[in-house]
A = this chain, B = another copy of it.
Amino acid sequence: MKNLKVRSQNREEMIEITGDVEKHIPDDRDGICVLFIQHTTCSLTVNENADPDVQSDMLGFLNRLIPQDEPHFKHGEQNSDAHIKSSLVGSSATVPFENGKLLLGRWQGIYLCEFDGPRERKVLMMEIAEA
């Protein structure tokens, strides 16, 4: 198991971690790479890494959908929006690899989605061999 550290700079942010993940993939076997965050106000996702407008459109949409100051929220830390986004986007990502390369599509990158930063986040990474 490996441990990747990611530092966010803003309350909401999508940070690409593809390069960091790829350098830990073993050359000599095929399998899946499982990524897991040990936090409840951020997420992992796979999405486009070409045009940065895709990431800002996504973060902007999620903010309009789930406003931080939604008047019904009762949780005292003012981050219920971040907890909800975390469960909708998800706390793990699974990507297959072959011969030391992640099998991502041409436009895909792996992102940590920060919803309640800035913070230091930890991503656990485990490789599992194909049957």
Contact = CB atoms under 8 A, between A and B. Distances in A.
Classify the secondary structure of A's interface with B.
mixed
Given A26-B131, A72-B60, A87-B89, A40 B46 contact: yes
Looking at chain A, what size class is its interface with the partner chain? 35 or more
Interface stretch (A4-12, A15-23, A104-112): A104-112
What number of copies of this chain does the assembly contain?
Answer: 3
Nearest to A41: B48
Interface of A: 1, 26, 29-32, 34, 36-40, 45-48, 51, 53-54, 56-58, 60-62, 64-66, 70, 72-77, 80, 83-84, 86-96, 98, 103-108, 113, 122, 124, 126-131
Contact of A84 (B53, B61, B131): B61
